Amino acid sequence: MKRPHSNNYFIKANTLMPGGVNSPVRAFHAVGDDPIVVTRAKGDRLYDADGNRYIDYCMSWGPMILGHGNIKVLNAIRRAIRNGTSFGTLCPNEIRLAELVQEAYPSIELVRMVSSGTEATMSAVRVARAYTKRDKIVKFEGGYHGHSDQFLIKAGSGLTTLGTPSSPGIPRAFAENTLTLPYNNIGALAKLMGEHGHDIASVIVEPVAGNMGVVLPEPGFLETLRELASKYGTVLVFDEVITGFRISFSGAQGVFNAVPDMTTIGKIIGGGMPVGAYGGKKDIMKLISPDGPVYQAGTLSGNPVAMAAGIATIKEIKSRPGFYSEMEKKTGHLVDGLKDAARLAGKRVTINSIASMFTPFFTNRPVKDLQSAMTSDTKQYAQFFRLMFEKGIYLPPSQFEAHFVSMAHTPSDIDRTIRHAYDAFRKI
Could you tell me the smallest distance in angstroms from the CB atom of residue 239 to ligand KE4?
5
Question: Which of positions 241-300 make contact with ligand KE4 (CB under 6 A)?
Answer: 241-242, 266, 276
Could you tell me the smallest distance in angstroms from the CB atom of residue 266 to ligand KE4?
5
| CA 331 from centroid of its chain's CA atoms | 17
Size of the site for ligand KE4 (CB under 6 A): 19
Could you tell me the smallest distance in angstroms from the CB atom of residue 242 to ligand KE4?
5
Decide whether 120 or 408 has the Cβ nearer to ligand KE4. Answer: 120
Alpha helices in 112-199, H assignment, sequence order? 117-132, 172-175, 186-196
Would you give the end-to-end CA distance of the chain in angstroms?
Answer: 19
- In the set 141, 316, 401, 413, which binds ligand KE4 (CB under 6 A)? 401
Is residue 402 within 8 Å of residue 62, measured between CB atoms? yes
Could you tell me the smallest distance in angstroms from the CB atom of residue 241 to ligand KE4?
3
Length of the chain: 428
- Listed residue (107, 114, 329) closest to 236, CA to CA: 107
Could you tell me the smallest distance in angstroms from the CB atom of residue 130 to ligand KE4?
21
Decide whether 67 or 274 has the Cβ nearer to ligand KE4. Answer: 274
Pairing of strands 136-140, 178-181: parallel
Judged by CB under 6 A, the stretch of 93-101, 235-243, 300-308, 416-424 that binds ligand KE4 is 235-243
Distance in angstroms (rounded) separating the CA atoms of residues 145 and 157: 22
| CA 315 from centroid of its chain's CA atoms | 21
Other CB atoms within a 10 A radius of the CB of residue 243 amount to 31
CA distances from 418 to 106, 108, 400 (A): 39, 40, 21
Could you tell me the smallest distance in angstroms from the CB atom of residue 143 to ligand KE4?
7
Looking at 44, 56, 57, 267, which residue is catalytic? Answer: 267
Decide whether 76 or 357 has the Cβ nearer to ligand KE4. Answer: 357
Give the HSE-up count for residue 10: Cα atoms under 13 Å, Cβ half-sphere: 18
Decide whether 25 or 130 has the Cβ nearer to ligand KE4. Answer: 25
- In the set 44, 56, 94, 206, which binds ligand KE4 (CB under 6 A)? 206
Question: Which of positions 42-71 make contact with ligand KE4 (CB under 6 A)?
Answer: 61
Judged by CB under 6 A, the stretch of 69-77, 238-246, 277-285, 362-370 that binds ligand KE4 is 238-246
Three-state secondary-structure class, residue 49: coil
Close Cβ partners of 244 (under 8 Å, ≥ 6 residues apart): 105, 251, 263, 265, 266, 267, 268, 269
Looking at 44, 48, 239, 413, which residue is catalytic? Answer: 239
For 2-44, list the strands marked E by DSSP. Answer: 38-42
Indicate if 239 belongs to the active site. Answer: yes
Alpha helices in 199-345, H assignment, sequence order? 221-232, 282-285, 304-318, 323-344
CA dihedral 169, 174, 176, 178 (to 10 degrees): -100
Per-residue contact string for residues 116-145; x = within reach of ligand KE4 by CB under 6 A:
xxx--x----------------------xx
Indicate if 144 belongs to the active site. Answer: yes
Could you tell me the smallest distance in angstroms from the CB atom of residue 356 to ligand KE4?
15
Decide whether 48 or 119 has the Cβ nearer to ligand KE4. Answer: 119
Judged by CB under 6 A, the stretch of 110-118, 175-183, 278-286, 374-382 that binds ligand KE4 is 110-118
Classify residue 380 by burial, with Cβ atoms within 10 Å: 0-12, 13-18, 19+: middle
The angle that helices 323-344 and 411-427 make with each other, rounded to 10 degrees, is 30
Distance in angstroms (rounded) separating the CA atoms of residues 376 and 341: 18
- In the set 210, 217, 244, 254, which binds ligand KE4 (CB under 6 A)? 210
Could you tell me the smallest distance in angstroms from the CB atom of residue 27 to ligand KE4?
10
Question: Which of positions 166-205 make contact with ligand KE4 (CB under 6 A)?
Answer: none
Decide whether 239 or 413 has the Cβ nearer to ligand KE4. Answer: 239
List, by residue number, the catalytic residues. Answer: 144, 239, 267
**Binding region for ligand KE4 (CB under 6 A):** 23, 25, 61, 116-118, 121, 144-146, 206, 210-211, 239, 241-242, 266, 276, 401
